[in-house]
Amino acid sequence: MTTGDEAAVAGLERRLGYAFARRDLLVTALTHGSVGTASHETYQRLEFLGDRVLGLVVTEMLIEAFPRAPEGELSRRLAELVRKETCADVAGLLDLGSAIRFGHSKAQRAALLTTNVLSDVCEAVVAAIYQDGGLAAARDFIAAHWGPRLVASQAPAQNAKAALQEWSQARGLGVPEYVIKAKSGPDHDPHFELEVRVGSLPPARGEGRTRREAEQEAAAALLASEGQRKASA
């Protein structure tokens, strides 16, 4: 690492509020696949881990902050807080984009600096902190940068369907399929029960007074169950 690189990493550590014992972890979290040499690891494996750590810690924060909230509400809030746009926004506030290592020219760099890349790098940084300092350090970092968003959210997010579709398509799983399993009650007060299926994943169920409400509940339940399953894997 050159003197200039060391100065840049030190500046980023100040913005993160965390000093690394192993700075190589942070460098890896900031290395894009376009660097493309065998001697450089990229952020992809760390992003995979960071996604799970973030989901676990945010879930803990939600349970503590909203002790009376039902599972469906918690699931919708979780989906909103860990979606790629939220992670990319955190990355922007920390100016992670200026620290990412690309293997292309400055002109090409601008085209590569997408919401997806910023989100992935943000999650990779979470994983780097986790591997360097343990779960307590990761919790402190996540609380500092996601906590204000959690407190500011006065109503549960209502876009779990959109979040699930983004999540499933980003992983090559296709478009979620919603299947009505039962409909009961009179016409003026119906009750829907349905199931959402994504690829070969275990389906999730949702209920509601409208089909849309049941779909939102099912989408949020699948996102939450996947996040919990992978965090504990």
**Burial group, residue 99, by CB count within 10 angstroms (0-12, 13-18, 19+):** buried
**96 Cβ contact partners less than 8 Å away, ≥ 6 residues apart:** 12, 30, 118, 121, 122, 125
Annotation marks residue 187 as catalytic = no
Annotation marks residue 120 as catalytic = no
> Among residues 51, 80, 120, 132, which one is catalytic?
51
Gap between the Cα atoms of 136 and 142, Å rounded: 10
Q: Kindly state the tokens that stand for 93.
A: 């506030």
**Burial group, residue 173, by CB count within 10 angstroms (0-12, 13-18, 19+):** middle
> Among residues 80, 120, 123, 215, which one is catalytic?
123
Alpha carbon 170 to its chain centroid, in Å, reads 12
Gap between the Cα atoms of 166 and 175, Å rounded: 9
Residue type, 224: A
DSSP 99-126: G-B-SS-HHHHHHH--HHHHHHHHHHHH
Q: CA dihedral defined by 219, 224, 226, 229, rounded to 10 degrees?
A: -160
What amino acid positions are annotated as catalytic residues? 51, 123
